[in-house]
Structure 1
Amino acid sequence: MVPGTAVRWRRRVSRLRRTVLAALICVAVVLPLSGAARPEIPAPAPAVVAAPTAGTLDEAYAANRANAAEASRMAAAHGDRHRAAADRSMADPSRRLLAFDGRGAGLVTEVFGDLARADRVAVLVPGSDTSIDTYGRFRAAALALHRQLAAQPSEGTRTAVVAWLGYETPGTISTTVATTGRADRAAPKLRALADILRGITGPGTRLAVLCHSYGSVVCARAADGLDVADIALVGSPGTGADSAAGLHTSARVWAARGADDWVRHVPHLSADLFGSTVGFGTDPVSPEFGARVFAAGDGGHSDYFDTGSVSLTNLARIALGDTTEVTHD
């Protein structure tokens, strides 16, 4: 085979391989869709709350708790005891709900710590299959981070964590999980949250977003115009951008993946199929992407916020701004 022919052959094989991989992803998420829809659960419209300030936070929390209590009553009347219990737990007087919407899969923004006085605020952005019905596992991650921030030495620093289930997450088994569609719709909402937090805490507070799995796609799509100091991507399938520079942000971009995370097997490609772009491109922990790669230990896809883990320790250091203390593989 002449040299020119060999080069053309390799290019054709490469294109074919990328197309086949993308098609496999598409088939894998399309085939199991039948019967996935869930009946709508009745719930009130969200409480009408003015943009909160440090002085009105308690009023916002109370209004959203009251809305959650009403959502619980409506879900119970509908016969959905599981949702009624989940909503009822949101209405507990100890909960600090910055936002709540019990309709559909549900949306919640919950605060841990004294947000009004915080010097450092970490915003957690969840991945697929996160809803009011599964919120407990996401909340556990936020609580673990909040405890870790309090435990790590950072003299005089006051911290808060915001668990932001502020967008409709895709199902792990769905067509939406392999495209940026949900993330594109979520991005302006995440930017708006950062602006709200700035209005509560003031310009001197350091904000960081810690983004898990599909949540990393959301953070990447929001990055241009997102007023934060750091963006950390963990368990990321990709961002839809070729590089960290392609996110067009002045924030530091971090990335990590646990040694036992199944997402490492996801093909890092992006291809147009059936009118949609499938896949998220360059691996965020690869040298080509150009993020600050940090150690995440031996954990799996759901282990990044496990108490005592290397990943949680490093995520807390990033949130605190102790970036020189972050460990690397």
Structure 2
Amino acid sequence: MPDRPRGPRLRRALLAALVTFAVAVPVSGAARPAAVPAPAPTALGPLRDAGQAALARRYAVSRHDIRAAGRTAAEHGDLRRAASLRGMAGPGRQFLAFDGRDGGRSTEVVGDLSTARRIAVLVPGAGVGLDAYWRLRRDARSLHRKLGEGAAVVAWLGYRTPATVSPAALTTGRADGAVPGLRTLVEGLRAVRPAARISLLCHSYGSVICARSAPGTTADALVLYGSPGAGVPDAAALRTGARVWAGRSGGDWIARVPHVRVRVPFVATLGFGTDPVADRFGAEVFDAGDGGHSDYLLPGSRSLTNLARITAGAEPLGASR
């Protein structure tokens, strides 16, 4: 059920705040680029084999698809997309899946999945896409270096992310569409690495996706950070056996987002409800340091240290409960 503000006046004020946030927050990368054509990818099916030979074949097929999409982007005249795809197809890159259509989808592995005992799945939020994919890659590599040997990080760009400043970033529509893909990935990882510890690290709008995919998940940990809310009133409503963590850094502008859900008749429900770091949500809160909204996985940060510790199954430093 939506969180209901007390009285029409407060309801209108909170709605106005949400709408103002949607059109006025000064962030970069908000504009949605024009559609860039791409060929249909090779049909690979779900992940069923994590042996080195099977993974090498899968990575090779995805590399072929990325290069094909890059050629199409260059022919279309989008040199930025073509350059980004050339980087993604570089030596040593490992993609379990790639689809350049409709804004792009990809699943990249950093580390050796065939031997991984600890697996982190990065679920990004709004404003992430193929043209600025290097940011997600940077974060995955940073976390992998911190985790060390025996770990793999999966960077999952498995949905068309909303622009950071847009009506879509205030509703669950894009998250609902992303849930089947995330569930399929986690099920595949669990099937091929049954003894591995799997953690979902869900940033910003990505926390809404993780919350909606939480019931029945086989992940061991669900971590919501830099979250605008998870679309549920409390952690119990996630209906998951995973350990639920939440964190927000001191310099994150997401703290100014009203943590409400407001039903706009004939339009949509705006907002995502209870703040995951609030006591009443019931998550275990970890110290995320003082960085900004995009800084959680920066080398040397307290947030990176604690996200790595949670992924490894250790207690984070400075956990409040």
TM-score normalised according to structure 2 size? 0.91
* 1:164-183 → structure 2 map (5 Å cutoff): 164-183=156-175
* 1:117 equivalenced with 2:86 (yes/no): no
1:39 corresponds to: 34
Secondary structure at 1:124's aligned position in 2? strand
The runs of 5 or more residues in structure 2 that have no matched partner are none
User: Is contact 2:50–2:114 with CA below 8 Å preserved after alignment?
Assistant: yes
C-alpha deviations, 1:33-87, integer Å up to 9, x for none?
Answer: xx95543212111221143312311111000000000111111111111111111
Rounded to whole Å, the distance in 2 between the matches of 1:158 and 1:14 is 54
Gaps of 5+ in 1: 1-10, 151-156
| Percentage of pairs with the same residue | 50
Q: 1:213: which partner in 2?
A: 204
| d(CA) in 1 for partners of 2:301, 2:21 | 32
Match of 2:74 among 68, 73, 76: 76
**Residues 94-141 of structure 1, C-alpha deviations (whole Å, 9 max, x = no match):** 100011111132111100111011111000000101000111111111
2:178 corresponds to 1:186 = yes
Q: Which amino acid counterpart does residue 238 of structure 2 have in structure 1?
A: L
- C-alpha contact (below 8 Å) 2:98/2:106 kept by paired residues: yes
1:19, distance to aligned residue in structure 2 (A): 2.9
Helix, strand or coil: the match of 2:110? Answer: strand
Query: Which residue number corresponds to residue 257 of structure 2?
Result: 266
1:251 maps to amino acid? A
Separation in 2, partners of 1:223, 1:12: 26
Contact 2:200/2:223 (CA < 8 Å) preserved in 1?
yes
Quick check: 1:29 aligned with 2:22? yes
Q: Could you say which residue in structure 1 is the equivalent of 2:84? A: 86
Name the CA distance, whole Å, in 1 between partners of 2:89 and 2:185. Answer: 22
Within 5 Å, give how 1:219-230 maps onto structure 2.
Answer: 219-230=210-221
Give, in angstroms, the shift of residue 27 of structure 1. Answer: 5.2
> Cα deviation per residue 1:122-163 (whole Å; 9 max; x = unaligned)?
00000101000111111111110000001xxxxxx6110000
Q: Distance in 1 between matches of 2:216 and 2:24?
A: 37
Pairwise CA distance, 1:23 = 3.5
Query: Given that residues 220 and 247 in structure 1 are in contact (C-alpha distance below 8 angstroms), is that contact kept between their aligned partners in structure 2?
Result: yes
1:283 to 259, 275, 282: 275
Native 8 Å contact 1:318 1:326 kept in 2: no
User: Aligned Cα RMSD in Å?
Assistant: 1.9
Q: Which residue of 2 aligns with 1:51?
A: 46
Secondary structure at the counterpart of residue 14 of structure 2? helix
The one-letter code sitting in structure 1 at the alignment partner of 2:105 is: L
Conserved 8 A contact 2:35-2:102? yes
Larger Rg: 1
* Structure 1 Cα separation of the partners of residues 7 and 115 of structure 2: 54
Q: Is residue 241–residue 282 contact of structure 1 (8 Å, CA) maintained in 2?
A: yes
Residues 235, 301 of structure 1: 8 Å contact kept = yes
CA contact (8 A) 2:120 2:199 kept: yes
Shift of 1:31: 8.7
Say if 2:129 is the partner of 1:131. yes
Q: TM-score, normalised by structure 1?
A: 0.89
* One-letter identity of the residue aligned with 2:256: H
Match of 1:301 among 284, 293, 301: 293
On the 8 A contact 1:69/1:88 being kept in 2, the answer is yes
**Pair 103,232 (structure 1): closer, same or farther in 2 beyond 3 Å:** same
Distance 1:93 1:265 in 2: 42
Write the letter of the residue equivalent to 2:38: A
Q: Judge conservation of contact 1:111–1:162 (CA < 8 Å) in 2.
A: yes
| Partner of residue 243 from structure 1, selected from 226, 230, 234 | 234
State the 1:294 CA deviation: 0.4
Alpha carbons of 1:265 and 1:27: their partners in 2 closer, same or farther (altered >3 Å)?
Answer: closer
Q: SS where residue 253 of structure 1 aligns?
A: strand
Q: 1:284 to 1:12 in 2, by over 3 A?
A: closer
Task: Give the whole-Å Cα distance in 2 for the aligned partners of 1:283 and 1:247.
Answer: 14
Matched residues in 1 for 2:306 and 2:23: separation?
A: 36
Whether the aligned pair in 1 keeps the contact of 2:5 and 2:11 (CA below 8 Å) is no
Q: Secondary structure of the equivalent of 2:154? A: strand
- Which position in structure 2 is the counterpart of 1:7? none
Alignment partner, residue 3 of structure 1:
none
- Contact kept, 8 Å, 2:102 with 2:160, in 1: the verdict is no
In the aligned structure 1, how far is the partner of 2:147 from the partner of 2:31?
A: 39
Structure 2 counterpart SS, 1:117: coil
Partner secondary structure for residue 133 of structure 1:
helix
Question: Structure 1 CA distance, aligned partners of 2:11 and 2:306?
Answer: 34
- How far apart, CA to CA, are the structure 1 residues paired with 2:184 and 2:174? 16
Distance in 2 of aligned mates of 1:200 and 1:76 = 37
